[in-house]
Amino acid sequence: MSTSKRKRISRIKETSPTTVHLVVDKEVFTKNASSDKAKKVLVFNENLNVEIWIDKHYQNRVYHGSDDGSERDGIEYVNIEPVLIKSFKHLLYYSLKHKNFVFVNHPPSRVRNNRLVLKELIEDEVFLNIVVEYHFIDLNTIEITLVTAMKSDNFNMSNGQFGIEFEDNYSKLIQFSKGKLSEIDTYEYHD
């Protein structure tokens, strides 16, 4: 008969819908991203509401086309919403990795807020270009305002402006600077 102690079974104790306390054996340490010997003691989630708004300028482009009277087919909200939703994980990845990539505007409002161009490849070399502003409202709310959209293979970006090009779940963080478009990074999201 062995005299060594039997290892205890880990138990999970829930304290709220978003917090899980783990009761673990004090001797069980495993490798994590920071250490070869670490122990997970808490998992929690913060709630974040993301509100999507449309600007009147965008609505006018959908119903009335461009200022020159040309139609803007394919920019209907039903085509844009999936891009806005999937972009959030990519934006979070890039903003946590690149300190100069800031996509959320904070109060007070400036004369010119940061605007981002989301580009979804829809045909060979043709992108659905979506111009958006992201605003911090409070610790639980981020507001996305859809400013305008256009299908084009040569959409003009402002100097210093960032964009994200999507092809399915793969993306490229790009920036227009000094007359040229540069690729900063890439990311592929997997469920």
Q: In the prediction, which pLDDT does 127 show?
A: 93
Q: In the prediction, which pLDDT does 40 show?
A: 87
**Measured between alpha carbons, how far is residue 185 from residues 94, 105, 114, 175, 182 in Å?**
8, 22, 19, 10, 9
Q: In the prediction, which pLDDT does 12 show?
A: 47
Distance CA 52, CA 88 (A): 12
User: Along the 191 residues of the chain, how does pLDDT read in single tens digits?
Assistant: 555 555 544 444 444 556 665 555 656 888 999 999 998 888 888 899 999 999 999 999 999 888 888 888 899 999 999 999 999 999 999 999 999 999 999 988 778 899 999 999 998 888 999 999 999 999 999 999 999 999 998 899 999 999 999 999 999 999 999 999 999 999 999 88
Q: Is 65 exposed, middle or buried (0-12, 13-18, 19+ CB in 10 A)?
A: middle
Pair of tokens at residue 184:
């900063």
On whether the CB atoms of residues 146 and 55 are closer than 8 A, the answer is yes
Q: In the prediction, which pLDDT does 163 show?
A: 97
Distance CA 100, CA 102 (A): 6
Q: In the prediction, which pLDDT does 72 show?
A: 86
121-146 as b/e: b if 16+ CB within 10 A: eeeeeebbbbbbbbbeeeeeebbbbb
